[in-house]
Amino acid sequence: MLWPHKDLLCISQLTKAEILHVFEMARRFAEVNSRPIKKVPTLKGKSVILFFVEPSTRTKTSFDIAGKRLSADTYSLAASSSSLKKGENLKDSALTLEAMHPDALVLRHHQSGASEFLAKRLSCSVINAGDGWHAHPTQALLDGFALSGVWGDDMAGKTVLIVGDIAHSRVARSDVLLLNALGAHVRICAPRTLLPAAVREWPVEIFSDLSTACRGVDAVICLRLQLERQKAGLLPDLREYARTFGLGARHLKQANPGVLVMHPGPMNRGLEIEAALADAENSLILDQVSAGVATRMALLFLFLTRKDQSSRDEQQPQNHRFQEA
């Protein structure tokens, strides 16, 4: 497949065939990650700037590892060490970085739409690593890839529950889009104060009782409770939230046999999920982390070789790209 996209801003821009193509590429790179020498020369000479205005552990580190394992040069930049701290605006900071001729800019920002704002102004690829409450497309892709490792790519007939702080979650929004694109039925469960205003327009089934929501589900994705929202008076107290919406073994008794448990992290054990469930055999939480590296390797490959692919014969064999350096 010739990759048609300059940027990755939202799951909605991808077709089902493109999502499955990302999965196929991620499977190839997952094999690279299992080798004693985890490096290939695929992106040698390419450069990637990781511009994270918001803090991140998993996303930033996995993009950094993904780039390095493909032999790309990666450069990390945080808001605290950039000219944003001196009052420079996002546009000027990004234009300054582009003048250094990177091949891609991976952006995490607290404002929804920040990635799209830059994508319209920069000639290099822009990959959205999370913007406000809007979208986190690479997280959704790695979640789908982790599930595909158990279920395969056809998720028709599967039911996935997303539980927690839906209102403030870019992960929930992106996961809903991706799971629907793959044919899964999606449920959400949250306190009313943590549901988005327009949630009735979402392609989901809405629940307010977690035990009921878990009946017949095949996977449960727990979301981080954004504790800063507690200060806004959206919840009575954390103990009550944990009792009512924290995933426990009693809830999973209502689910289908072999139900999978997921969490995008960072995870508050005992609040969003019982500690034992996070470490159980049916937990995919660490699989999600591993899937993150392979998926982001696939995305960097697709976006950074897009122009190269379009300029050579479409039928040319590609296996040589995955040989060890």
Binding-site residue set for carbamoyl phosphate: 58-59, 108, 136, 139, 265-266
CA proximity to 130, closest of 52, 209, 65, 192 = 52
- Distance, CA of 268 to CA of 79 (rounded, Å): 25
Tokens of 218: 């095949």
Torsion of CA 61, 64, 67, 70, to 10 degrees: -70
Neighbours of 315 (CB within 10 A): 5
Q: What residue type is 290 in one-letter code?
A: S
Give me the half-sphere count of Cα atoms (radius 13 Å) on the Cβ side of residue 244. 17
Annotated binding site for L-aspartate: 86, 170, 224
Work out the burial of residue 276: count CB atoms within 10 Å of its CB; fewer than 13 is exposed, 13-18 middle, 19 or more buried.
exposed
* Bind-site residues: 58-59, 86, 108, 136, 139, 170, 224, 265-266
How far is 252 from 231, CA to CA, in rounded Å? 30
**CA of 321: how far to CAs of 4, 41, 42, 269, in Å?**
20, 7, 5, 41
Which residue has tokens 């809903």? Answer: 176
| Inter-residue contact 283 to 150 (CB < 8 Å) | no
- Residue pointed to by tokens 């944003």: 84
Q: In sequence order, what are the beta bridge partners of 186?
A: 160
Distances from the Cα of 300 to the Cαs of 171, 176, 264, in angstroms? 20, 23, 20
Given a contact cutoff of 8 angstroms between Cβ atoms, the answer to whether 208 and 192 are in contact is yes
